[in-house]
Structure 1
């Protein structure tokens, strides 16, 4: 009888260990909370199969796919520069004059304005001189490339993280999948075609992983857009190759900040064309789990007022109206997804934390990660997925 009881208890513990398809919501610096949530998930003996992310969620999904543990991710967050600043704070990197070629200048709105007043060919030299003024450089970057910051520092950081795990800095999505068998999908937005892109080893096998993440985290007005290189291609499951060369790519959150549909709506055309041949057996082999950053849930022992706001120029009335309109549209889409799949969603508290609060540290950082840990613990308990040892 005692032996039988032990066997039953052991079997129950084994059955409680699950494989998950994970979806990470976008949220800028607030994505740091994923570290706490992942920590308890793995402590409970669970694992992941497919990893899908937008913006900050794309960063976390990629680090998971590359083999980073939650503790290793935390070490990345706690990295410091030579002068003692959090490395994450360097992601707000100002563009320099060297970032802009003569081709960029010749095709710019500024050149067209100068042409209108007929400055007899001096335009390029005038602009080149102005680009050595920091404020003008950011304005030029904003007008011509859609963001105040270059994103160069983040791209180098992401490449360094891949290299630290032994991968080539320019490893492609296909090569990463072949080496790890981790199924990674990142969401971006094609501004020119006004459509959502799902970037993975099926759709964009030639696309470097770090550049895919850089696209997904390009918050409009903040970081420069990424121009799609023809060599990357974009192909659908039916073999169609879409010509999106030279189109502008930005944050996936513009069209899908919480892409639960990629793991939950198997019959949609988008899923069938981007996520592979999904048999019923494959779908049933893993549970769905969405990690939602909930700005309405407070973090214990932390103020509820926002921090780390957007650059001051984004407070311009026109930009605020565009931002608010986009937020309204996205909220409607997200609310539908959240309502439909709420039992499969873990809500992570983030009230009072800023999208661009990359300098987060000390108790504020610790409390945030702890909140993620506790939220995931509660979620797993509610689903009966807590393994007792």
Structure 2
């Protein structure tokens, strides 16, 4: 039976979602459309790409904190500098490793951009601090930013939605009305 799924954020709570996915799969349910914010965006994107609960478990077993965060050289050489840089960068880590990990996993299923997914099968929720509103990707890409959703990276959208403030540096998008600062979807909607 086909159903829709919505995955909220909450970091470690994402592990519970995998158990729920597994039970739903065992009961014969599959998702035709999924949406997610923050950690839920990670699971929603991988589910939309075709990953099963067991495949997700296997992927997450291989993860470690070090594989998801890119610690700047300055943090290792001059640890006190990270607090100064936090002020200027608005985050401790760039989020590049998180994005590249998600990108690699999506590419294993043939997914790079929203055009590679079935129409309306995935919605990623982000918070645009510049305009002070929730942004739904890919829907708002064209209307709000003038960006073609067919060319926009799903991994980038997941990175944007998972951009926990002050932990990850916010993603900046240049759109119709200038630069927008995008952070974790859970900031405005979880």
TM-score band (shorter)? 0.7 to 0.9
Q: Name the SS for the 1:148 alignment partner.
A: strand
Q: Which runs of 5+ in 2 are unaligned?
A: 142-148
Q: 1:230-269 to 2 correspondence within 5 Å?
A: 230=175, 243-257=176-190
Q: Which residue of 1 aligns with 2:49?
A: 66
Provide the rounded CA distance (Å) in 1 between the counterparts of 2:174 and 2:109.
26
Provide the rounded CA distance (Å) in 2 between the counterparts of 1:155 and 1:227.
14
Residue from 22, 25, 29 that aligns with 1:46:
29
Q: Which residue of 1 aligns with 2:145?
A: none
**Structure whose alpha-carbon radius of gyration is higher:** 1
Provide the rounded CA distance (Å) in 1 between the counterparts of 2:177 and 2:72.
26
- Measured after TM superposition, the shift of residue 37 of structure 1 is 0.3
Residue from 212, 218, 222 that aligns with 2:157:
212
Q: Does residue 1:57 correspond to 2:40, yes or no?
A: yes
Residue from 93, 96, 99 that aligns with 2:70:
93
Q: Which runs of 5+ in 1 are unaligned?
A: 1-17, 80-85, 98-129, 231-242, 258-389
Q: For each residue in 1:30-52, what CA deviation from the matched residue of structure 2 results, as whole angstroms up to 9, or x when unmatched? A: 21111110001011111112101
- Would the alpha carbon gap of residues 146 and 244 (structure 1) be closer, same or farther in structure 2, given more than 3 Å must change? farther
Provide the rounded CA distance (Å) in 2 between the counterparts of 1:181 and 1:66.
12
Provide the rounded CA distance (Å) in 2 between the counterparts of 1:163 and 1:154.
14
Provide the rounded CA distance (Å) in 2 between the counterparts of 1:225 and 1:190.
10
Q: Which residue of 2 aligns with 1:189?
A: 127
Higher strand fraction (1 or 2): 2
TM-score, normalised to structure 2, is: 0.86
Q: 1:327-366 to 2 correspondence within 5 Å?
A: none
- Would the alpha carbon gap of residues 246 and 189 (structure 1) be closer, same or farther in structure 2, given more than 3 Å must change? same
Q: Does residue 1:226 correspond to 2:171, yes or no?
A: yes
Q: 1:109-120 to 2 correspondence within 5 Å?
A: none
CA contact (8 A) 2:110 2:116 kept: no
TM-score, normalised to structure 1, is: 0.44
- Measured after TM superposition, the shift of residue 246 of structure 1 is 1.9
- Would the alpha carbon gap of residues 151 and 63 (structure 1) be closer, same or farther in structure 2, given more than 3 Å must change? same
CA contact (8 A) 2:35 2:122 kept: yes
Q: For each residue in 1:164-192, what CA deviation from the matched residue of structure 2 results, as whole angstroms up to 9, or x when unmatched? A: 2233xxx222x122xx4461001100111
Count, aligned residues:
182
Q: Which residue of 2 aligns with 1:172?
A: 113
Q: For each residue in 1:191-243, what CA deviation from the matched residue of structure 2 results, as whole angstroms up to 9, or x when unmatched? A: 1111110012x33313211010001011111111001144xxxxxxxxxxxx2
Q: Name the SS for the 2:140 alignment partner.
A: coil
